[in-house]
Structure 1
Amino acid sequence: MLIAMNERRELINLVHWQKRTSLLPLKKQKFYCPQCERPVILKVGAVNIPHFAHKKHSDCSESFAEGETLEHMQAKIQLYSLFERSSYTPHLEPTLRNCAQRPDLYVKDREQHYVIEYQWTPISKKQLQKRTITYAEAKYPSFWLTKPPHTLRPNLIQMIRLTPFYRTVYEMNDRPYLYYYDPRIQNFYYIAPLLHVQNDRYIGHVQKIPYEEQTVPFRREILKLSSSEIERYVHYYVHARMRRIEQAIRYERGNDTLLTRCHDLKLLPFELPNWIGVPLAESHSFRQHTLDWQLHYIHHCLMGAEDWSSEETIVTYSARYQLSQAERHAVEQYRQFLEKIQVTDLRETLPETTYFRHFETTLVAKG
């Protein structure tokens, strides 16, 4: 940890000590953890960043700061310095009222306040959700930054794989972006809008922002996409949809598959209309490709002679297949889409302009 109390109960912030040699006289003093108030040791080595550590293993050390990576500590120091130069008042590793956790940073100005957590190594979805909910219950909005994946190509629209950890971070942050920060090269990465394709695959626009150009608070608004950028999203999405059909033809066997539904509807897989398998703002609620769950819905409606644009159909469909609330919301979005385009026959296809406009509307909604 980078913050500790001295014997006078004054907080000592190691970020403000620029030289290691200036810290050496402090090693003779006694320091205590602000959280548990047990003794901690000031460690000033030749390699690691100077820091405090508990003298022995404790419940406090399990919940905060022990065994942090070099990158995590670098990120905390750099983020603290970034906010220190802004209109915000930053607090490093604060002890918060009514909260059993100590975030990496707590920042506030006259209008807003929130805690910032930086996560270099992944934690479980359960841990991340628990910590976020704990902050929320104590009235502290939270914001998460994470280590960037190795596969990012800055300033390009590309296919991106998100692990469960990264997906949870995206869902827990009440902002349209997925945010990364690499303290080693001091670059921020923003990905938005994210368009779900299938399982852990998304399409996203990656923007790189050097540390010295970063402003606070972190960006909330989605930059407006150009027509060529939207076309790039369409290209990736259509290609992924075609790959899904090819995968079904080559590998799927059984009685409840994309192929059997096409057979029931008297269509070849490549003849499926382009309004089945379209992106929606809530498509990520299903881990399947949109082509699968949307075809399942259309198949259900046609086999049961139900109106696919009817609200009553959503009720019966959701009950029959025991959809979660998020899945039901996604299907409702699809119903509204079908109601809007007013297609009545599987042989109808959307004009290219209408198809493009739907992508444009969806990408704006993602922001």
Structure 2
Amino acid sequence: MLAAVNAYGQSVVLAGPNARMTALSLKKTPYFCPQCGRPVVIKAGDVNIPHFAHEANSSCDSFSEPESPRHLSGKLDLFNWIASTRDAEMEARLPDRSQRPDILTGTIAVEYQCSAITSSLFRSRTERYNNRLLTPFWLYGGPPIEKKGRYIKLTPFQRLFLRYHSQLGFYFITYYPESKLFSVYGRIIPVTTSLCFAERLDVRISEMPFPPAAVFSSNFTFSLQAFFDEKRKWIDRSRHYNNARTHLLFKSIYEAGRNPHLLPEEIGLPVRTGVAIRNHPVEWQFYIINDQKSGSPEEAAAIVRKRIESGHLKEAILPLAPLMTPEQAAADYIELINELGTGKRADSRSMGAKIQREETFCTAYEKQIIDRLIF
């Protein structure tokens, strides 16, 4: 931790260019954890930045993660960045001591998270801030986002940081103290259950305003044909590594006398709110098309919710984007289908015919689909 109090309750923060000198001058003064009240010691070596640390065997749960050197360094960078333009408090103590944000500025509680925590803890901390009329601003500081070719792979923990903006779609922000860079991942679109398309914008901390803002290029590089190629690979992998006859989706497809590779192109399309459903687009969109009667957005939303409750689909946990729900994804999908106006088309008769139909579909509808992915 970078903040502690003395015996009189006066706070000291080890930040700024003179932090090490301040820490050394305070070595003989007793300091205490503002959260649990137990003694802390000052660490001011030559490797890590100066900080306070609990004595051995302390059970204080002030923070959700160990205070690693990387976390301390990043938190200090963020504090100096925010404090350069507005009032900010390091490791602020909330009145009920229920939690302690890394940085508090106005009504914004900044949390810099480097190690993984459970989704339930992430959500409960977010809700407690909201209940206090504070806006939680979570920044990801963990391992670099993994790249897989043209896509990125997001872990369940990383997905907890997803927010939604009308211009950026789903997005999240990372900060890396080693490079002093923010990386903003925006326009995130699920391609498989783990891979996502995303555009990345790197901004130096000295050039980023607070609250952060990002403007992506108007040149949107999403390829519908590449999306279809990944869909085909996903079906192949899923059939190979799972028992296709017992897999809930494939079982439903086979029982209907159909082939998962030959389904109409409209089943398994990219939808900007599709992140709200953890399953592949083919799965939840097949259920909608298979179960619907009226074809309305409201009916599609009800179908998806029923499939979630029955265990056929899984809802994504999005604490920072509570309005982006599976129901919204289902409604957006039906609106897309209605806009394309392709009608209810039959399955392809062969893989050759299927690939030809995909190429024709991409030529005819890619622009319309992309226009709905970005605003």
Residue 102 of structure 1 pairs with residue 100 of structure 2: yes
Q: Which residue of 1 aligns with 2:270?
A: 279
**Contact 2:297–2:330 under 8 Å retained in 1:** no
Q: Which residue of 1 aligns with 2:322?
A: none
**Contact 1:265–1:299 under 8 Å retained in 2:** no
Q: Which residue of 1 aligns with 2:201?
A: 207
1:260-313 Cα offsets, whole Å, 9 max, x none, are: 6278366x5454332221112331233221122212322234xxxx24347457
Scaled by the length of structure 1, the TM-score of the pair is 0.81
The secondary structure found in structure 1 opposite 2:285 is helix
Question: Aligned pair in 2 of structure 1 residues 57, 317: CA closer, same or farther (>3 Å)?
Answer: closer
TM superposition shift of 1:192: 0.4
Pairing partner for 1:189 from 183, 190, 195: 183
The secondary structure found in structure 2 opposite 1:16 is coil
| Letter aligned with residue 84 of structure 1 | A
| Letter aligned with residue 161 of structure 1 | K
Q: Please give the residue correspondences for 1:1-367 in structure 2 after superposition, counting only pairs within 5 Å.
A: 1-16=1-16, 18=18, 20-55=20-55, 57-59=57-59, 61-64=60-63, 67-86=66-85, 88-108=86-106, 113-147=107-141, 149-151=143-145, 158-170=150-162, 176-219=170-213, 223-226=216-219, 229-230=220-221, 232-247=222-237, 250=240, 253-254=244-245, 257-258=249-250, 261=253, 264=256, 269-301=260-292, 306-309=293-296, 311-312=298-299, 315=302, 318-319=305-306, 322=309, 326-347=325-346, 350=361, 352-364=363-375
**Contact 1:118–1:145 under 8 Å retained in 2:** yes
Question: Aligned pair in 2 of structure 1 residues 18, 264: CA closer, same or farther (>3 Å)?
Answer: same
| Letter aligned with residue 284 of structure 1 | V
**Contact 1:157–1:203 under 8 Å retained in 2:** no
Question: Aligned pair in 2 of structure 1 residues 315, 167: CA closer, same or farther (>3 Å)?
Answer: closer
**Contact 1:193–1:222 under 8 Å retained in 2:** no
Structure 1 unaligned spans of 5+: none
The secondary structure found in structure 2 opposite 1:184 is coil
1:50-79 Cα offsets, whole Å, 9 max, x none, are: 2122345455x2233884100000011111
Question: Aligned pair in 2 of structure 1 residues 70, 184: CA closer, same or farther (>3 Å)?
Answer: same
Question: Aligned pair in 2 of structure 1 residues 173, 18: CA closer, same or farther (>3 Å)?
Answer: farther
Question: Aligned pair in 2 of structure 1 residues 308, 244: CA closer, same or farther (>3 Å)?
Answer: farther
Identity of aligned residues (%): 24
| Letter aligned with residue 225 of structure 1 | S
Question: Aligned pair in 2 of structure 1 residues 360, 157: CA closer, same or farther (>3 Å)?
Answer: farther
Question: Aligned pair in 2 of structure 1 residues 26, 196: CA closer, same or farther (>3 Å)?
Answer: same
The secondary structure found in structure 2 opposite 1:15 is coil
| Letter aligned with residue 150 of structure 1 | P
**Contact 1:159–1:236 under 8 Å retained in 2:** no
Cα distance between partner residues in 2 of 1:191 and 1:318:
29
Q: Decide which structure has greater helix share.
A: 1
Scaled by the length of structure 2, the TM-score of the pair is 0.80
Equivalent pairs, count = 347
The secondary structure found in structure 1 opposite 2:88 is strand
**Contact 1:186–1:211 under 8 Å retained in 2:** yes
**Contact 1:125–1:168 under 8 Å retained in 2:** yes
Question: Aligned pair in 2 of structure 1 residues 97, 351: CA closer, same or farther (>3 Å)?
Answer: same
| Letter aligned with residue 169 of structure 1 | F
| Letter aligned with residue 290 of structure 1 | P
1:107-146 Cα offsets, whole Å, 9 max, x none, are: 13xxxx3011111111111111111111111111101111
Question: Aligned pair in 2 of structure 1 residues 163, 173: CA closer, same or farther (>3 Å)?
Answer: farther
TM superposition shift of 1:83: 1.1
Cα distance between partner residues in 2 of 1:310 and 1:13:
54
**Contact 1:161–1:200 under 8 Å retained in 2:** yes
Cα distance between partner residues in 2 of 1:286 and 1:19:
46
Cα distance between partner residues in 1 of 2:203 and 2:300:
47
TM superposition shift of 1:10: 2.4
TM superposition shift of 1:104: 0.6
